[in-house]
Amino acid sequence: MSGIQNILENNRQWVAQKNAEDPEFFQRLAHGQAPRYLFIGCSDSRVPASGITGTGPGEMFVHRNIANLVVHSDMNMLSVLQYAVEVLGVKDILVVGHYGCGGVAAAASNKQYGLIDNWLVNIRDVVRLHEKEILGIGDEAQRLRRMVELNVVEQVRNLAKTNIIQNAMKGDNPPRLHGLVYDVADGVLKDLRVNGDDVIQEMEHIYGTEVPEPADAPVAVGTAPVDIPVL
């Protein structure tokens, strides 16, 4: 218990400060959330989502994993994305990487690290896509910094490939996609200016899908409509 005493004390001080500033603060939060942003970031302890963005409780929905990846088989990430877009109605989705990312550095090496190697394959896929540019950078530190940036760009592209984003883009107020990189050395966020609309249009002929129209007649159990492939 003694190991978390400082956490509990910090919490009490925070509660007292918030109540002093705004006695209704916690009551408003208790009524629900309507965040404007979805933050998809790295789990690195040096990159606190609210701290680096200046947002407070209720303003940002957050998903974090090693190296801020958007993986299409990651049900955790997809569940967060769908809830943020379809239920909370977030306006902006931020994929936020950071220079000095240990996951990116591990993926750039030829070493095995255990279970995480399966996750790092997703970063190595980014290296494969941009191999010529990456190999053309002689300085290792600069090469890793560029890999961090390219990883963010590709994760924004992965967002655009999901049917969650594709369907949202057909609505009246689709979310905007952004790629950012945080520099731990100076605290500054860099906008990579990834245009989500351009990304979606660029890949639509490959990844674009449509929701099928409901069948006019019920389908018998054990059969499949003709236009739906049986897997």
Q: Which residues are catalytic?
A: 42, 44, 46, 98, 101
How far does the chain reach from its first CA to its final CA, in angstroms?
52
CA distance 148 to 109: 14
Cα–Cα distance list, 182 to 98, 167, 201, 216 (Å): 4, 30, 27, 51
Instruction: Give the three-state DSSP class for 35.
Output: coil
Closest CA to 97 of 144, 56, 132, 160: 144
CA distance 48 to 139: 29
